[in-house]
Amino acid sequence: MSSMPLPPLADVLATARVVALPLAVRFRGVTTREAVVFEGPRGWTEFSPFLEYDDAEAATWLAGSFDFGWNPAPPALRETVAVNATMPAVAASEVPRILARYDGCRTVKVKVAEAGQTLADDVARVRAVREAVGPEGRVRVDANAAWNLDEAERAVHALAEFDLEYVEQPCAEIDELAQLRERIAYLDIPVAADESVRKAVDPLRVARAGAADLLVIKAQPLGGVHAALDIVARAGLPAVVSSALDTSIGLAMGATLAAALPGLDYDCGLGTASLFTTDVVASPLVAREGVLTLDRPRPSSAELDRVSAADDRRDWWLERLRRCHTLLERTAR
């Protein structure tokens, strides 16, 4: 976040609402996505670190929320942002049903390396996606750091026949990513870094190590739109903007980042509102003919009431927000 003063906790809590959005398909092991949304001087913003993240990591997400709600947006370099469809780790037979939720997306990111599944499951899923999008479509895969080096090499070889645009975070460690890039260089399949940027103490280390061809960046986990733009500028690598299964409010944050990013050469992972059965606004921020417009959603009280979380979940999230705000206060001193 910039040097702006930390918003008072009372101001944040005054409009804070905890929401629970049902998913059309299980994703990251959940069927409901919870978030806190609240209104700042610049508009509505979102705090939604994943449940398993500790307070230190979640506090960075809160800083990103404040950046979007309190700071002016950077200048937009484009009026729309092309987005990809996201394919959860479903059975191959489910691929057409999921793709039908996305309007006009020419790129599909396929989740692979799901716990309890096999490489054969991944191959079948990616094959089904390639068959659905045809030779002109773009297919990328995301392992969420689940493979070790040898597993990653084997998987990339098994999936190479499907003409991959890139493989995202195949391994957890930066030295493994660097070695994998060398091993698969002849296949001409780029390696993208996600967790090695957003979960790293030093988000630039992966670029300095020559361990990635491009970065996958997410606004909220990196401390906000402005912080993410700074990381990309210093890394000197191409970047693609992605979401963290956000509500439409959080997706607007990602779209603001993507719109301001110089040289955006990739479709962005900001189409995930299509995985929800409902949202915080009447008109969710979903792709139309493969693109998002730069709308900033504003929910009504009735819409927020409709998706309100249960009381115990509301209390859990607001207490988490308080703890993270305290951490940011200590850092600011």
Which long-range contacts (C-beta less than 8 Å, at least 24 apart) are formed by 302-309?
Answer: 304/17, 304/19, 304/37, 304/280, 306/278, 307/19, 307/20, 307/21, 307/278, 307/279, 307/280, 308/17, 308/18, 308/19, 308/20, 309/18, 309/19, 309/20, 309/34
Question: Cα–Cα distance between 136 and 36 in angstroms, integer?
Answer: 39
Task: Give 292's strand partners.
Answer: 81
Q: CA 95 to CA 75: how far, in whole Å?
A: 37
* Token digits of residue 196: 């090695």
Could you tell me which of 217, 170, 241 has the C-alpha nearest to residue 178? 170
Q: Would you list which residues are annotated within the binding site?
A: 142, 168, 194
Residues belonging to the binding site for Mg(2+) are: 142, 168, 194
Query: Exposure of 187 by Cβ count < 10 A (0-12 exposed, 13-18 middle, 19+ buried)?
Result: middle
d(CA 248, CA 273): 6
* Residues ≥6 apart with Cβ < 8 Å to 137: 106, 107, 108, 130
Here the tokens at position 56 are: 């230190």
Kind and range of the H or E run holding 253: helix 248-260
Cα 28 from Cα 8, distance rounded (Å): 33
Which residues are designated catalytic? 111, 218
